[in-house]
């Protein structure tokens, strides 16, 4: 009976993540083109996208904290997802820069908390209090999301050709409404003292983001993620530009990019969970960091297509394995009463803000050094290694003190 329940929860979360990431896939890559089709100048498009990023950094932690205080992660997720779908539909008839800006900011504010709340719910269901081994692998549902993102992007590209740019918003709204309904089917996060991570404070004292930030292991975890995942900023912004400048066609560049996403799915679904069943998360983080150093060093050194084809699949390690490892540690060190808040701080203030800053710096790096600017990204990934060791010490020190 328990196995049947576990499989049922796994299926429900897989459906939730698939619907969410289908919604992201159909719209995210093409949203700038939609704004341009409404007559916005490039400067206005840039302003709208940058303000949307800013609002996400605020709304994510706010919604996460609200969900934790109300002990209602599922309800907050359902409301945010449904409202994001309505805002996507609201963009369809919107005309003029001011109205498009206002609706797009509301859309971004509602969309930002969805992934962090879904992650908190999935991790809670996969590793409930007192359970040593996960009931199911978080990577399986996250991998389903990545695969759905690819499908969404492909479907959206065809829909735009047939129906125009507004099709992406109608599709996103439909998938978000489906995700909102699916949210009501997944189990709520149960908060109790049973099985809480060792050394956590009583629930009534862990009531704010400051309490979370005071945890040494959490601070180091966020820093590791910021350094390794943040080092992807230059690749995400300038890889295609760099490849085109080296004579690599957009078609070949798309294949290289698809390789990296396919590797991400493989690691989420199979390789990552297998590795984490046999080694500590910090070891997997170190592997991811070293893979990132190698990846960026190669990109700084050469634009040979065959070599790039060999190193792009390292994305499965540099992103997916790192993320899975961080999620494994996050579930182990954070009290469940702060699960959504921790996810929001990790994803938005830690990774999101860092990536935004590094993306801005990447422009200057590429302008001055071209592809050699990737050496700076390699240095960032290298800097994560001593932090990973510090994280390991922070996690093991309470155990050592208990034994002594």
Tens of pLDDT, residues 288-332: 999 999 999 999 999 899 999 999 999 999 999 999 999 999 988
**Cα 15 from Cα 22, distance rounded (Å):** 10
Q: Does the pLDDT value for residue 280 go beyond 80? A: yes
* Residue scoring higher pLDDT (359 or 304): 304
Compute the radius of gyration of the chain from its Cα atoms.
Answer: 21
Give the pair of three-digit tokens for residue 53.
């990023």
Give the pair of three-digit tokens for residue 247.
């004579």
Q: Does the pLDDT value for residue 194 go beyond 60? A: no
Other CB atoms within a 10 A radius of the CB of residue 320 amount to: 26
Give the per-residue pLDDT at 14: 93
pLDDT band at residue 206 under the 50/70/90 scheme: very low
Give the per-residue pLDDT at 403: 37
**Cα 295 from Cα 373, distance rounded (Å):** 13
**Structural contact between residues 148 and 17, judged by C-beta atoms closer than 8 angstroms:** yes
**Structural contact between residues 319 and 195, judged by C-beta atoms closer than 8 angstroms:** no
Domains of the chain, start order:
2-183 (1.20.1250.20), 207-403 (1.20.1250.20)
Q: Does the pLDDT value for residue 82 go beyond 70? A: yes
Please give the distance of CA 373 from its chain centroid, rounded to a whole number.
24
Mean pLDDT for 150-160 is 81
- For residue 150, with 0-12 CB atoms within 10 Å meaning exposed, 13-18 middle and 19 or more buried, which class applies? middle
Q: Does the pLDDT value for residue 201 go beyond 50? A: no
Give the per-residue pLDDT at 189: 81
**Cα 367 from Cα 17, distance rounded (Å):** 38
Q: Does the pLDDT value for residue 195 go beyond 50? A: no
**Structural contact between residues 189 and 62, judged by C-beta atoms closer than 8 angstroms:** no
Three-class secondary structure of residue 165 per DSSP = coil
Q: Among residues 37, 27, 32, which one has the least CA distance to residue 48?
A: 32
**Cα 266 from Cα 403, distance rounded (Å):** 39
* Residue scoring higher pLDDT (360 or 1): 360
Other CB atoms within a 10 A radius of the CB of residue 22 amount to: 27
pLDDT band at residue 352 under the 50/70/90 scheme: confident
Give the per-residue pLDDT at 198: 45
Q: Does the pLDDT value for residue 240 go beyond 90? A: no
Please give the distance of CA 127 from its chain centroid, rounded to a whole number.
19
* Residue scoring higher pLDDT (194 or 229): 229
CA–CA distances in Å: residue 355 to residues 64, 99, 117, 136, 350: 20, 28, 20, 30, 9
pLDDT band at residue 401 under the 50/70/90 scheme: very low
In this predicted structure, which of 2-16, 233-247, 346-360, 381-395 has the lowest mean pLDDT? 2-16
Give the per-residue pLDDT at 31: 81
* Residue scoring higher pLDDT (148 or 207): 148
């Amino acid at each position: 009976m328990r196995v049947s329940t576990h499989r049922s929860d796994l299926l429900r979360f897989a459906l939730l993540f698939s619907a969410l990431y289908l919604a992201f896939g159909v719209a995210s890559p093409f949203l700038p083109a939609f704004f341009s089709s409404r007559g916005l100048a490039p400067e206005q498009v840039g302003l709208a996208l940058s303000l949307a990023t800013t609002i996400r950094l605020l709304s994510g932690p706010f919604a996460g904290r609200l969900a934790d205080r109300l002990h209602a992660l599922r309800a907050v997720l359902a409301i945010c997802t449904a409202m994001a779908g309505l805002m996507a539909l609201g963009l369809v008839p919107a005309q003029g820069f001011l109205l498009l800006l206002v609706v797009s900011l509301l859309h971004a504010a509602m969309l930002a908390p969805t992934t962090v709340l879904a992650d908190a719910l999935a991790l809670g269901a996969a590793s409930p209090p007192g359970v040593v081994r996960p009931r199911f692998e978080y990577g399986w549902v996250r991998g389903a999301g990545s695969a759905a993102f690819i499908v969404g992007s492909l479907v959206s590209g065809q829909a735009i050709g047939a129906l125009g740019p507004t099709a992406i918003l109608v599709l996103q709204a439909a998938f978000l409404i489906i995700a909102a309904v699916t949210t009501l089917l997944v189990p709520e996060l149960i908060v109790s003292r049973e099985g809480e991570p060792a050394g956590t404070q009583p629930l009534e004292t862990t009531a704010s983001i400051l309490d979370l930030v005071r945890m040494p292991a959490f601070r180091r975890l966020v820093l590791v993620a910021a350094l390794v995942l943040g080092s992807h900023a230059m690749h995400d912004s300038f890889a295609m530009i760099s490849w085109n400048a080296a004579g690599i066609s957009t078609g070949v560049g798309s294949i290289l990019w698809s390789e990296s996403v396919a590797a991400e799915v493989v690691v989420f679904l199979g390789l990552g969970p297998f590795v984490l069943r046999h080694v500590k998360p910090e070891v997997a983080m170190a592997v991811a960091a070293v893979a990132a150093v190698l990846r960026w060093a190669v990109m700084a050194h050469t634009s040979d297509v065959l070599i790039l084809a060999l190193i792009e699949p390292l994305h499965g390690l540099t992103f997916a394995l790192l993320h899975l490892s961080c999620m494994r540690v996050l579930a182990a060190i954070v009290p469940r009463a702060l699960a959504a808040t921790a996810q929001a701080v990790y994803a938005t203030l830690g990774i999101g803000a860092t990536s935004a800053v590094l993306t801005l710096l990447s422009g200057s790096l590429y302008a001055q050094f071209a592809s050699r600017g990737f050496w700076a990204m390699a240095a960032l990934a290298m800097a994560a290694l001593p932090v990973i060791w510090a994280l390991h010490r922070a996690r093991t020190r309470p155990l050592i003190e208990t034994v002594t």
